Amino acid sequence: SVQQAHVVALPYNMLLSRSAREALGVSLKNSVVIIDEAHNLVDTILATHSALLDARCVTLLLDLVQRYFKKYWQRLRGSNVVHIRRTIALLRALDKYMRAVKTEDGGTPDVLVKGVNEFLHDAHADHINVFTIDRYLRESKIGRKLNMFADRQVGSNNDAEKRPRAQTAAGPQKSEIAPATAVAALEAFIAGIGSPDRTGARIVVRNGAHGVELSYVLLDPSEAFGELRREARAVVLAGGTMTPATDVVEQLLPRFGRLSRDTCSPAELMKLDPDNARLFSWSHVVSPSHICSLVIESGPTNTPLKFAFQDQQNTLRIRECGQALAALCNVIPGGVVVFFPSYALLSKMLSVWRENGIIERIARRKPVVTEDAQDVLSEYVEHVRGPHKGAVLLSVVGGRLSEGINFSDELGRAVVMVGVPFPSLASPELNERLTYYESIGQKPTMSTVARPAEQSMGPRARSLYESLCMRAVNQSIGRAIRHRGDFAAIVFLDAR
């Protein structure tokens, strides 16, 4: 039926995965691929082609593959014997490396970030052809065979070789995981480290819930996107929050350089023509008179409103923010949707506001609904359209209400943004991504590089860091302007 269809709708992860497209019978040849909400495309590509392999999976697979090989090696073809021996060698190398990291410094290793080649060298696996192992795992469907083998082993009473499927590092509890799931995790990890371009990726080693974790982190989405671009007749990236498009173009089409309609001359934009790439931008259909935007830098007692991470425990500023929100709710009709940078800050502010009677003050004018309510949308709509004629909805940027929800007309007469939702620089994956983006156009390196602190970021890394933040802001505040006749206030409660 897919081959007969004129229009095929796919989620991102299936479109971006060649194996998923092949399984569905979807071919991009001579097709026009339209990607909506394309501001998410880069992040989705990086997430789709990244992989996580933990000690639980490695321990399970090493045990099962060795027992499987011991029982059936005489029935296997010579080529399969070679492939299974290679797989066992790789699993042993990974297991030995994870155990060494795990027992170093009292069993709590710091987060380590390595280049792919550096990691393979440290794990003594650089002599193993991981590409052939990856192909064997996929083509042989060995995950299913191991699954059936494990079921027979577990189902056999008094079996001398019976062992737990997986053992967590935290204690003797059994943690069930299907061998097919573990094989899928291994396949994804091997597919990453077997990629020809290893400069645009890192291996992050950390202590996780199931022991040591190895994360393959893709940093360069251009190769994965290039596969779509080469196959399809045309690719259209569409979205309402694409501008500025500089970092998106640079990451997906790096050879085009820095590109933005706002900063490039017509002659520079013409550079796209040889590769049949065009950039279009249109003004919003909503009149500027329908939008009131405000930045409130201080509270009623002139205390600065600033909610960087180090300021989020400042109860004085939290009280001032609550008083400012209460004042806004006194004059804004209908529904007010408030977004916070994180669940932790939302929880902290709610606690302080309740202790100081601020929630009670707001509730006199508008009932307060939080995102964790059981039927949050129905409750909110009921208050706004019921006798109260209004309500306040407290939500989180990046949460379930920040994208794809329609707060049109009286459901969203104001969107209030508390703080600025910058991504956490405590994430090694984000730091490596920023460092890599800063280095685009410079000589690449596969060795571990210094992570950029916020104060020491280069201009390109800071541009990407701010762009990630503002796209999240744009998605959140866009919940309130849903048609040409709509109107709303956009209020930022942060001096930054």
CA Rg, the chain, in Å?
A: 27
Return all residues near 417 (Cβ < 8 A) that are at least 6 apart. Answer: 338, 339, 397, 473, 476, 477, 490, 491, 492, 493, 494
- Burial class of residue 346 (count of CB atoms within 10 Å of its CB; 0-12, 13-18, 19+): buried
Distance CA 8, CA 323 (A): 50
Look at the pTM and tell me if it is higher than 0.85. no
Categorise residue 457: left if φ over 0, alpha if ψ from -120 to 50, beta otherwise.
beta
In this structure, the number of other CB atoms found within 10 A of the CB of residue 149 comes to 18
Return all residues near 70 (Cβ < 8 A) that are at least 6 apart. Answer: none
Distance CA 10, CA 305 (A): 43
Q: Tell me, what's the pLDDT at 338?
A: 93
Q: How far is CA 447 from the centre of its chain?
A: 24
Bond preceding residue 274 cis, omega within 30 of 0: no
In order, the DSSP letters of 179-215 are HHHHHHHHHHHHHHHT-S--TTEEEEEEEETTEEEEE
* H helices present in 293-342, as ranges: 315-331
Report DSSP state, residue 167.
B
Looking at the DSSP bridge assignments, the partners of residue 340 are 396
Distance CA 9, CA 7 (A): 7
pLDDT in tens, 116-154: 888 988 999 888 888 888 888 878 877 778 878 877 765
Task: Pull the structure tokens for residue 70.
Answer: 């011991």
Contact 198, 204 (CB under 8 A): no
In one-letter notation, the amino acid at residue 84 is I
CA distances from 148 to 143, 153, 154, 213, 279 (A): 9, 9, 10, 26, 52
How do the pLDDT tens digits run along the chain, 496 residues long?
A: 677 888 999 888 888 888 788 888 888 888 899 999 888 889 889 988 889 998 888 988 898 889 888 888 887 788 888 888 998 999 999 999 988 885 555 555 578 888 888 898 899 988 888 888 888 887 887 777 887 887 776 555 444 444 454 443 433 334 467 777 888 888 889 888 887 666 788 999 988 777 888 999 998 888 888 888 888 888 899 888 777 677 787 788 766 544 444 545 555 455 444 455 777 888 888 888 999 999 999 888 888 888 888 888 888 999 999 999 999 999 999 999 999 999 899 999 999 999 999 999 999 999 999 887 778 888 888 999 988 888 999 999 888 777 767 888 888 899 999 989 998 888 888 988 898 888 875 544 444 444 555 556 788 888 888 888 888 888 888 888 888 888 999 999 988 8
- To which residue do tokens 């392999």 refer? 53
Looking at the DSSP bridge assignments, the partners of residue 298 are 304
pLDDT in tens, 16-27: 888 788 888 888
CA distances from 283 to 19, 118, 239, 241, 259 (A): 39, 48, 13, 12, 18
Task: Pull the structure tokens for residue 266.
Answer: 């017509």
Q: Tell me, what's the pLDDT at 155?
A: 57
Looking at the DSSP bridge assignments, the partners of residue 491 are 294, 416
Of 351, 350, 346, 383, the C-alpha closest to 367 is 383
Distance CA 354, CA 360 (A): 7
- Ramachandran angles phi, psi of 197, nearest 5°: -95, 95
- Ramachandran angles phi, psi of 342, nearest 5°: -155, 160
Contact 391, 357 (CB under 8 A): no
Categorise residue 37: left if φ over 0, alpha if ψ from -120 to 50, beta otherwise.
left
Distance CA 370, CA 267 (A): 51
Residue 39: how many CA atoms within 13 Å on its side-chain side? 19
Angle at 214 between CA 212 and CA 218, to 5 degrees: 155
Return all residues near 88 (Cβ < 8 A) that are at least 6 apart. Answer: 62, 65, 66, 69
Q: How far is CA 237 from the centre of its chain?
A: 19
Task: Pull the structure tokens for residue 37.
Answer: 């909400």
Contact 346, 396 (CB under 8 A): yes
Q: Tell me, what's the pLDDT at 284?
A: 80
